[in-house]
Amino acid sequence: MRAEGGRSGKRRQRIGVMGGTFDPIHYGHLVTAEAARHEFRLEQVIFVPSGRPPHKRPEEITDAKHRYTMTVLATLTNPHFDVSRVDIDRPGVTYTIDTISDLRALYGPEAELYFITGADALLEIVSWKDAERLVSMCQFIGATRPGYSLDQLEQNLGPLYRRYRRSFHFLEVPALAISSTEIRRRVRTGSPIRYLVPETVAFYIAKNRLYLEGN
């Protein structure tokens, strides 16, 4: 069925889902979400800060309260951006299959969900819990830097990609070598983070004395 719907003219709701640890959220995340919204004509992009990511120890990540608040502050000025607590409020480790199931229940069976992720993270998809069921439940937008080899990526995605080819989309985002790891390192070593994160997020980090130690 086409996204525009049938004769009724009613278009299916198109929702972007941007999952992440957001420890902290930065302009790489925001630019990618806005580009995806525009390119794929999404009505909304929902940022979903994770509860406990499977690959990180609980003590390695900042309290969900702070990560959630920074995500709200960063998305405040975009009327198409929203933040969901589904992953934070669900106990235990966060799996993307649960995120998508919860949002599917919220937006109904007709909504088209687009999970937005860095292309490198797409490669991990085969190791995600219930990868096949997940791929059948939503579309994927893999953000790449311009010039990134898509051939290589497609090869590495393997059989699941070939079976669900139509569920995978790619989006070139202008080179943004920003990562939360780098932001945390900069705060720890006293380097500026201005213009790498929204001003409100920089103020929040300073006020709450986040990232002064650790990784």
Query: The tokens of 197 are what?
Result: 């994160």
Sign of CA dihedral 118, 139, 108, 100: negative
Per-position x/- string for 5-24, each x denoting binding to ligand ATP as judged by CB under 6 A, each - no binding: ---------------xxxx-
Total residues in contact with ligand ATP, by rule CB under 6 A: 17
Q: Of 141, 173, 187, 196, which one interacts with ligand ATP (CB under 6 A)?
A: 173
Q: How far, in Å, CA of 197 to CA of 71, rounded?
A: 11
Per-position x/- string for 106-145, each x denoting binding to ligand ATP as judged by CB under 6 A, each - no binding: -----------xx--x---------------------x--
What is the closest distance, in whole angstroms, from the C-beta atom of residue 13 to ligand ATP in the complex? Answer: 22
Type of residue numbered 195: Y
Q: Does 178 bind ligand ATP (CB under 6 A)?
A: yes
Q: What's the maximum distance between 2 C-alpha atoms anywhere in the chain? A: 59
State which H helix or E strand residue 84 sits in.
Answer: none
What is the closest distance, in whole angstroms, from the C-beta atom of residue 8 to ligand ATP in the complex? Answer: 35
Dihedral, CA of residue 21, residue 25, residue 28 and residue 32, to nearest 10: 70
Sign of CA dihedral 45, 138, 27, 89: positive
Q: Does 47 bind ligand ATP (CB under 6 A)?
A: no
Q: Which residues bind ligand ATP (CB under 6 A)?
A: 20-23, 28-29, 32, 117-118, 121, 143, 173, 176, 178-181
